[in-house]
Structure 1
């Protein structure tokens, strides 16, 4: 697609400029065949305004009156893409990208969005590079039948809150199911999709049961799926324990490795359960599977769990290793792998999350610590990549929601077989950072902006 970037220049009334007249560079007006001195529609996000275009010998700029700029949410110096559709006489500038965030700390100038402030600034920088504008807003700014949204943007060296049109594209970064499930948030998403054709991606949290049930429908993915069920009763536990020496119970809505329970059959000594906690894992022994079930029954009433086959994972220095693939859609809308990193569980832990003391390594670094031959390591790396893409496409096909990025957790057992552990629809903006920190804007952030631009047809 041909693209033209313009700088937004906001200037007071002149002989040309009232709130219904805009001045566009002559070369751009000519390139896009924008008619001058006649009324057309200018669009930014959901905002539409009838304007008359005047051309001038300026370089790559669109000059607008302050009244018009504040009416549709433009600010001085913004760099946006522009295109003109002759069939609808519409001059579109944008895209305007909205990011739904969990919280705003209004009293904190330096970190208004807490831990994700640096990511929000990085998004802003990427938007500047690709010709887009990004705004950030929490759940209490989302309303039914909204025509505008009060949101935060970064300009002239600081964050400020302004009123903007409904964005062309919205990226859901709400990191709490409680916020995501609020009535006003759900209604806002439904309304903007219906009224303004706003595209929303990463629409919802995925739970573990939903993922495994959906992917089981795709025969080509069966090889990656450990035996896994929504845990219901003792009979299910007994049946799984007869087939697998190690089982895992995972909260279906859990994250960061919280609440995972490992059940291991000990030869001639009953069962040992390990319960995750922040300092490591608490160990408890039981004489029989019945006593395990009774000990867990309180937890099972309070929380739903996924019961999963345990895997004999490869280790690095005696600690289990798994892999996090960040799979994203980008400028062409196709799934691609942005990064895959190895994650080594911390000492005394059996989950690899960084929040639980895990550490990052490269895929080759993790595999180098195993006894696999060099050719096998190359083959495993290729299989990790294939599994990542196949699983992302499986989610897209089998789950009727729109996702633009997925964190896919994979494991390799001691025979070299690749397994799916879980899929995260809100991958952390730190956990999957590539190991070199030299680039100012991470590739993962660029992909988000390019995918949003693709969705908005800019």
Structure 2
């Protein structure tokens, strides 16, 4: 019996969807894929990798990349059609390709396949969605699209610090900070533009908004869209701001649940807390306790969980698609208020071991839930036909 027959008879199939690669056969984080394959094996689910090029939603078999846990080797095999597809297409540019969109749409329309997290999030769209619900609007900083210098000037009149963020950015890339201050002698405003670099930031001074705007435009590619966002005075630990990294996922019942909360402490010269930009991983309760005490820290973490779940439900509702997980950046200001900064539909790996382990199990649990839902629907349809 070949592998496709074995899998079809013995185990449900979860396919990790990614892009093909001429040299490496497929793209993506192999160690992450192997971790999920190993977790699936332990929980009775066959996990493989499939590329957009090889995915044929209505075919009886297709080529998949299978990992042998005994020999630690990859091989290409014929597999049965996957029951559930976990979208890990690596970049927005890949996902926007016409052939990729056609494949994703074909999967979404196929009743035999359950595809979750079919697209990257757009920052501006997220803020629009979240502002439309009372349960989530309270967590949203003042945010608007950046289209001209007059808008930037008006925001700076109200908020002495604002952040400029690319709508389709990731991991802190492209973020800028603008701070308005006054020259004491002349009583004229001065604008400090901090541009995020790999492990720090470059500071550029401007004496007028026009000059500032020109400096900002120099940092942006022609087709990039940005938002302007109110700067929040974040809580600090040892003079360094920090925020919370929250992972929410669907559980075995198909309900949104908190998988874990981590913390990211900004680098000494960085304007963001992202680890690739110099941030460091830390314990959220410890950092919060340094400002709010142990009881205060626990209460804030409880409110962060409540906020994250409300945000996840609203995003899924407004997206109109099936979502299974998302990570979020939540800020805590000096008064202990929760603020939403960003959500990612394709979360990066959480390095905290308990969160990491639970996150892998949740993906498998949710895949099994989707499979049961499909079988229940088929059974119900067949029963109605018999009646």
TM-score of the superposed pair, with normalisation by structure 1 = 0.75
**Aligned mates of 1:94, 1:186 — CA distance in 2:** 29
**Aligned mates of 2:94, 2:60 — CA distance in 1:** 21
Q: Structure 1 residues 321 and 312 mapped into 2: Cα distance closer, same or farther (>3 Å)? A: same
Deviations 1:88-143 (A, max 9, x none): xxxx7532111112455756xxxx76762222121112112221111102233245
Q: Is the 8 Å Cα contact of residues 144 and 184 (structure 1) preserved in structure 2?
A: no
Q: Structure 1 residues 279 and 381 mapped into 2: Cα distance closer, same or farther (>3 Å)? A: closer
Q: Which residue of 2 aligns with 1:424?
A: 344
1:95 aligns with 2:15: no
Shift of 1:270: 0.9
Mapping for residues 105-120 of structure 1, pairs under 5 Å: 116-120=29-33
**Aligned mates of 1:152, 1:358 — CA distance in 2:** 35
Q: Which residue of 2 aligns with 1:276?
A: 196
Q: Structure 1 residues 228 and 300 mapped into 2: Cα distance closer, same or farther (>3 Å)? A: farther
Structure 1 residue runs of 4+, over 4 Å off? 103-107, 112-115, 143-147
What SS does structure 2 have at the residue aligned with 1:442?
helix
1:309 aligns with 2:252: no
Q: Is the 8 Å Cα contact of residues 153 and 160 (structure 1) preserved in structure 2?
A: yes
1:231 aligns with 2:146: yes
Q: Work out which of the residue numbers 108, 121, 134 in structure 1 matches 2:34.
A: 121
Shift of 1:374: 3.4
Q: Structure 1 residues 373 and 358 mapped into 2: Cα distance closer, same or farther (>3 Å)? A: same
Unaligned runs of at least 5 residues, structure 1: 1-65, 81-91
Q: Structure 1 residues 179 and 302 mapped into 2: Cα distance closer, same or farther (>3 Å)? A: closer
**Aligned mates of 2:268, 2:90 — CA distance in 1:** 28
Q: Is the 8 Å Cα contact of residues 18 and 27 (structure 2) preserved in structure 1?
A: no
Shift of 1:324: 0.6
What SS does structure 1 have at the residue aligned with 2:245?
strand
Give the number of aligned pairs: 365
Q: Which has the higher helix share?
A: 2
Mapping for residues 8-47 of structure 1, pairs under 5 Å: none
Q: Is the 8 Å Cα contact of residues 338 and 443 (structure 1) preserved in structure 2?
A: yes
**Aligned mates of 1:194, 1:378 — CA distance in 2:** 44
Higher relative contact order (CA 8 A, sep 6+): 2
Q: Which residue of 2 aligns with 1:258?
A: 173
What SS does structure 1 have at the residue aligned with 2:165?
strand
1:434 aligns with 2:352: yes
Q: Work out which of the residue numbers 336, 341, 363 in structure 2 matches 1:448.
A: 363
Shift of 1:339: 0.8
Deviations 1:196-228 (A, max 9, x none): 431111110001101001111112211100001
**Aligned mates of 1:435, 1:193 — CA distance in 2:** 33
Deviations 1:220-240 (A, max 9, x none): 211100001121122221221
What SS does structure 2 have at the residue aligned with 1:285?
strand
1:161 aligns with 2:82: no
1:171 aligns with 2:91: no
Shift of 1:176: 0.6
User: In angstroms, what is the RMSD of aligned CA positions?
Assistant: 2.2
Shift of 1:183: 2.0
**Aligned mates of 1:172, 1:125 — CA distance in 2:** 18
Q: Once structures 1 and 2 are overlaid, which stretch shifts more, 353-362 or 335-344?
A: 353-362
**Aligned mates of 1:415, 1:229 — CA distance in 2:** 24
**Aligned mates of 2:114, 2:180 — CA distance in 1:** 49
TM-score of the superposed pair, with normalisation by structure 2 = 0.88
Q: Work out which of the residue numbers 247, 254, 273 in structure 2 matches 1:326.
A: 247
